[in-house]
Every structure is written in C-alpha cells, then in structure tokens.
Structure 1
Amino acid sequence: MTNPTFSILITTKNRLSDLAFTLAKIQYLLDKKDVVCLICDDGSTDGTASFLQANYPEIQLIQNSKSKGLIYSRNRLLSMVTTEFAVSIDDDLHFVTVNPLEIISCFFSQNPEVAVLGFRIFWSKTEPVITATKEQSMPMQSYAGGAHAFRMEAWRDIPDYPAWFIFYGEENFASYQLFKKRWKIYYLPEVLVNHRVDLKLRKNNDDYVLRSRRALRAGWYLFFLFYPLKKIPRKMAYSLWMQFKLKVFKGDFKAFQAILLALLDLVWNISLILKNSNRLSPKDYNAYIELPETKIYWQPEK
C-alpha cells in the first residue's frame, strides 16, 4: 500500500452546504491512495458531523464539542499530520487546477528551502471563465490560511499558530517565525483555486464588525510581537489613520466600533504579547518588508 504523501486539512463550522460542495469538487483527490483528509468540526450544530460520518467514512473527523475558533482547530489538525505535506483549504474553496498535488509536490522537491506555497485565489461565487495566467512563481511575505500547502518539516520548526488570535493573522505569525528560521514562502500561480465568496456582499453581513475587529487586532498584535520597538509607534499611527480616513470619515461607523474593540483587545492581551514576542532585528525587518507582498486576490488578465 502506498504511504500517503499529502494531508488535506479543512476546518468547518455550521457551513454544511459549502463543505459538501467542496468535498464533491475534490472527490478525485480524496480517492488518491497517497492522500488523506482530516476535517475539524468546530462545534457545528447543523449536522456536519453526521453528514461526514454517513457519507465520508474515510475522512478523519475530529470535533470540538464547543467552538474553539479557527486557529485552535487548525493547530489540532496540523498536530495530527503524519504526511510530508499538508494542504489547507477553506470549507468554501476548491481547486480549479486539475492535479494540483503533483504540481505542489514537484515544486517542493525542486526547492527544498521553501516551507509554504500559496495558491492563486479567485474570489467569486463561480469559477473564472479564463483560467490562464502569465504570473510566475515568486517569493512573498506570507500566504492565505485557507489556500496553501505546508512542508511539515518546516511547520515543526516553528511555534504553533497563536490560538488566542482566534481568527485572522495566524499566517503572518507563521511567516515571521519561518523568516527567522530562514525558510521561504512562495506564490504558486500554477495552482488556481476558487474561493466562493462575494467580497462586496461580505461588508453587509452581520459579522462585519466582528471580522473587522479581529482583522485589525491581529495586525496590531503582530506589530507588537515581531516589529523592532522603534517601528511600532509609527506603524500603529499609520494603521489607525488609514482606518479613519478610508472608513470612519466616510460614514462607516461600524468600522469605528471595530477599531475601539480591537484597541481594547490589544490592551487586554498585552501579557500574551510580551510572553510570545520574537522581534526581528532591524536588518531582518528591512529584508522582510522588501519581499513582495502576499498575493491574495487574482483576477483574469484582460
């Protein structure tokens, strides 16, 4: 029997229809002998566990009896991986590229210094009509948490994701840790995925304030965890100014609420920040910010 090479990791919570669609789209990958799939059900109440047990008995299912958050769940999954590589995808995301694992494996084999590969992500409820791209693989600062492949040797070389972030920011946390260990992160445009999200409608969702709060505080946590001390005041001031300029001053008072709550979170978690800080030297900081920014959004070339 072939020893598995890839683990496909999915965290989910109360999104059974999205998860079912994703699993149907990647069934051909789940059928491969060198692939195992692990799913963490983070306290769902919509029958997710029963659906998986009935329809996908081959999937390794773990459950949080109460919701523990996305990052906690990702740590649980990664702690269970025994394969050489782990592919993490969101429950509302699927591969458009055929045979993506072969492409990923080849790139990792040819580039032993690479820890993480980030995929080309098309954000839309439907797949792109045009899938070709002229983009080339390249190093970048970080990666998308729900659309990447990890070399497990590198994962075990750094601390686990910070579960106290709850949601957002874990990828950048890992990227700083990897950078300090001299691992590299690369963009792999040959692998295209479809993230089935309408970004324009997301702003009107009921969780807009919560998402904004968590995104802001994660960014600020990272400043205090990794940036040289002299850089932090200016970075914080600029971040706050841009939030007010682009959102609050234009009448987005939900954004103002998110800012206040995120600042309170920052103060509340200062002890955790001090305990886990791992600052870049000024030289390393300059080298890190010179890397190309993370590629998260892709649109077909006209």
Structure 2
Amino acid sequence: MPNKTVSIHISTKNRKIDLEITLRKIQYLLERKDVECVIFDDGSSDGTFEMVKNKFPQVILLRNEISKGYIFCRNKMLNETKSDFTISLDDDAHFLTQNPLEKIEEYFDATPNCGLLALRIFWGIEEPKNITSHEKPQRVQGFVGCGHVWRMKAWRDIPNYPEWFEFYGEENFASLQLFKKNWEVHYLPEVLVHHRVNLKSRTKNNKDFGFRYRRSIRSGWYSILLFYPAIKVPRIIAYSIFMQIKTKIAKGNFKVVIPLFQAIMDVFFNIPNLIKNRNVLTREEYQHYTELKETKIFWKPEN
C-alpha cells in the first residue's frame, strides 16, 4: 500500500495483559512504514502505559490521567489522524487473516460509496479451528466496535460519536449518520478478527450483565428516538419493553428488572440530548434502511 496510510486505533483501560497479546499478534503490521498505531490509555492503573511505552516504542501513546470513557478516546484518535483509513480494534482483538490491509484497501478502492467496513468477527477465547468462510461481501445496516475500518473521508462527513451514550450504541449512531449522508456500510468477510472474550462468563456475572444489559437496551432506544420517524417510535419502544417483560421477567429472569428500569430512566434523563441530536429518517429512507441486511455481529465456523 505505498500510496495509502493506515492507522490502527485501540482504546484501553486496565487491560494490560490483553493489550500486550493484541500488540504482539499485530506486531508485523506495526513494523510497516505505511501504518501507524495509536493506543489511548484511558486512565489505567495497572501499568498499561508503561508496558506499551517500554515494549512497543513505535506506538503513538496517548493517555487520560482520569478516565473520560472509550468514546471520548475514539473521537479524539479519529479526529486527529491523518490517515486515509483507520482500523478500530478492541484491546482483546486481533487479525487472523493474512494480509488484511491489502484486502481492505482493495475493497475500498473498488467500492467508492463504502464509508465503513464491518469485518468478520469470531468471539471466543480460543482461535477457531476452521477460519474458512463462503460468505460474500454485502451492504449491511451497521458494524461492531471491536473490528471495523473507517474511510476517513466518511468519518469527517458525520458528527462525532455521542459521548453521552457512554457505553454501547455509538456504532448504530454512526451507521445511521452515514446512511443519511449516502455513505454505505459493507460487511467484508474476507478479513477475520478474533475477539478473545468469554461470552458465557459475561452472562453469569450479575454485575457485568446488569451493566451491559442496561446500556445495550437503552442505546437501541436512543437510536430509535434519534432517527426513526415519529409515527414509528411509540410502537417500537413499547414492543421492545413488552418483549423484555415477556421473554425475561415473565420467565423468572428477575436480574433484568433493575437495569431495565434504569435504562428507561436514562432515556428520560437524556431527552435534551435526544431532541438536540435528532436527525430523522424520511419515510423513504426508513423503508430503505430497514430493508438492508442486519448487522453481522457473531461469526461461527462452518461445519
């Protein structure tokens, strides 16, 4: 990629071991002259900053002494980069595909209306035994934060990620802003990312579950209230709450009660932000958007 520059962005906090694994996995990319890697340490207290500084001196290292949240970090990195394309990875995610940058550039060059690439993501502690996929690239509604690539021209065409979302949902916000600006989000299965997480432990950990559940469900409501035509909003929100009651609370899953109530209160608290940032889809845009393929989140190996 002699005529292009690529930036790899990772926001992290107190994940020193995971981050070091990731950086060693992508070390071969960090050594390329056409690649820069930016790590934003969001107030870690576990020695993350020192580890990166000492072991990966080629990395551009930023730090918040006091945590400001990963959305703040992502906005700052994206707004300051001079690269043509920016890869965003979680601190516990790395590429399994060989030559990912060439595949990414080739696709962007061949698809000028594509503003963002959603990569194929495998979720699990161990690497999959089979990484082959027969999926084809396609336009989709959105993307996942742990593995995606921005065409920076598209990023500069939309508002920043909303920091008041705090956790979850900024990807849907950006996807809908891109849609309004006639940029497309495409799923590129040719590039595989390994997200080294244990989803079962997240579900069993009540504190972690409540934290993620509250922010996940409210972020969905935020997107609906920000972008969907007013006539559609009451029915969709009401149905969402009804389904949480029917599929969870009515079946004895009472650990969702408090975070569900908190999510509802979050919506009321953020009414000023919702009004200020509303960017409603026309009926035609809404129809077109809902006809797109849904966001590809989890990939499982083929048998």
TM-score range, shorter chain: over 0.9
2:302 corresponds in structure 1 to 301
For structure 2, the residue ranges without an aligned partner over 5 or more in a row are none
Distance 1:72 1:147 in 2: 18
Q: Please tell me whether residue 274 in structure 1 is matched to residue 302 in structure 2.
A: no
Distance 2:38 2:198 in 1: 27
Q: Please tell me whether residue 30 in structure 1 is matched to residue 21 in structure 2.
A: no
1:28-78 residue CA offsets vs partner (Å, 9 max, x unmatched): 011111000001111111110011111112111111121111211110111
SS of 2:10's equivalent? strand
Matches within 5 A, 1:124-273: 124-205=124-205, 206-273=207-274
SS of 1:229's equivalent? coil
SS of 1:296's equivalent? coil
2:69 corresponds in structure 1 to 69
Distance 1:133 1:57 in 2: 36
TM score, norm. by length of structure 2: 0.97
Distance 1:63 1:244 in 2: 42
Distance 1:92 1:66 in 2: 22
Decide which moves more: 138-147 or 56-65: 56-65
Q: Please tell me whether residue 18 in structure 1 is matched to residue 18 in structure 2.
A: yes
Q: What is the root-mean-square deviation of aligned Cα atoms in Å?
A: 1.0
- Matched AA of 1:63: R
SS of 2:261's equivalent? helix
Distance 1:145 1:29 in 2: 20
1:95-141 residue CA offsets vs partner (Å, 9 max, x unmatched): 00011010000000111110000111111101110111110000000
Q: For residue 204 of structure 1, report the CA deviation from its aligned partner.
A: 1.8
For structure 1, the residue ranges without an aligned partner over 5 or more in a row are none
Which runs of structure 1 show a deviation greater than 6 angstroms over 4 or more consecutive aligned residues? none
1:170-227 residue CA offsets vs partner (Å, 9 max, x unmatched): 1110111110110001000000111111111211223211111111111111111101
SS of 2:232's equivalent? helix
Distance 1:216 1:69 in 2: 19
Q: For residue 250 of structure 1, report the CA deviation from its aligned partner.
A: 2.1
Distance 1:59 1:196 in 2: 22
2:52 corresponds in structure 1 to 52
Distance 2:269 2:283 in 1: 27
SS of 2:127's equivalent? coil
| C-alpha contact 2:146 2:195 (8 A) present in aligned 1 | no
How many equivalent pairs are there? 301
1:223-249 residue CA offsets vs partner (Å, 9 max, x unmatched): 111010010011101111121122222
2:88 corresponds in structure 1 to 88
1:39 corresponds in structure 2 to 39
SS of 1:40's equivalent? strand
Distance 2:106 2:148 in 1: 15
**Given the superposition, is the C-alpha separation of residues 17 and 65 from structure 1 closer, same or farther in structure 2, using an over 3 Å criterion?**
same
| C-alpha contact 2:7 2:38 (8 A) present in aligned 1 | yes
Q: For residue 165 of structure 1, report the CA deviation from its aligned partner.
A: 0.4
Percent of paired sites with the same residue: 51
Q: For residue 3 of structure 1, report the CA deviation from its aligned partner.
A: 6.9
2:122 corresponds in structure 1 to 122
| C-alpha contact 1:4 1:33 (8 A) present in aligned 2 | no
